[in-house]
Structures are given as C-alpha cells and as structure tokens.
Amino acid sequence: MKLHALIFATLTGLALSACTTAPTVEHLDAGVLQEVHNLDVYPDTLNNKARLNKLHDKCVIEFTGQMGNGRVVEQWAFKGLTLFSAGSALFSPDGTSSAQKFDLYDENTQKNFLALRKNFAKEALEQCN
C-alpha cells in the first residue's frame, strides 16, 4: 500500500510541475479591425476583399480574390509603416497551388503594400503602431 501511495504522490507531483512549467500560449488574435471589398488592385482580381487583423505585436492584411481561374491569398505583416513579411499563394481549380514570398526591399512590393494599406481607415491603422 505504501508503494501505491508513493507512486501516486510522485505522479501527482510530476503532473503539477508539468502544468506549472508548460509554456503558455498567448491569444494573439485581437480581432478584425476593418474589412474592405472590391478594391481596385493590380493585377486585376474579382470579388476581392482585404481584412486588417490586429495581432499581439503587429497587424496583418489578408487579401483574397479571384484571379483568372484561381484564387489568390496575400498576407502582409507590419507594424506602423514597417513591413515584416509578405507573400502570396495561388490556388488553382485543379487542386494545385503555388506560393511566393515577396522581396521586402523591392520598390514595387513597397508600393503595393502602401497602396493596399491606404484602403483602410486611419483609425483602424492607428491600432497597428
């Protein structure tokens, strides 16, 4: 009986220490700040929308739209005017997809980011500083 009590106490101690030392996962998504539809963008897309999401330490613009026969999804992560990462994925009707990471130092990438960013209200963008 003493052995069972010792094993039970040991397992209980391990379980409690595992719970107290386990890393916590922060709730990063603070929500959608604004969503805009039917943007005038290049290249042309149909039924497009862009959503400005506030995360713990940055904002992310998620752009989606129909381009040709496929669906494009772009994500632009930034804080203030500083672009941290950007890229796109194209999903074709046949089930194939391709992805590309944008060159953050490219002049066209920066112009596209600023043009996309201008579609959101000043009050929403202020929360991204």
What are 80-120's pLDDT values in tens digits? 989 999 999 999 999 999 999 999 999 999 999 999 999 99
**pLDDT 10s digits, 69-79:** 899 999 999 99
Instruction: Decide if 91 contacts 70 (C-beta within 8 A).
Output: yes
What pTM value is reported for the model? Answer: 0.74
Which is it for the CA torsion 106, 109, 114, 115, positive or negative? positive
How many Å apart are CA 6 and CA 24, to the nearest integer? 30
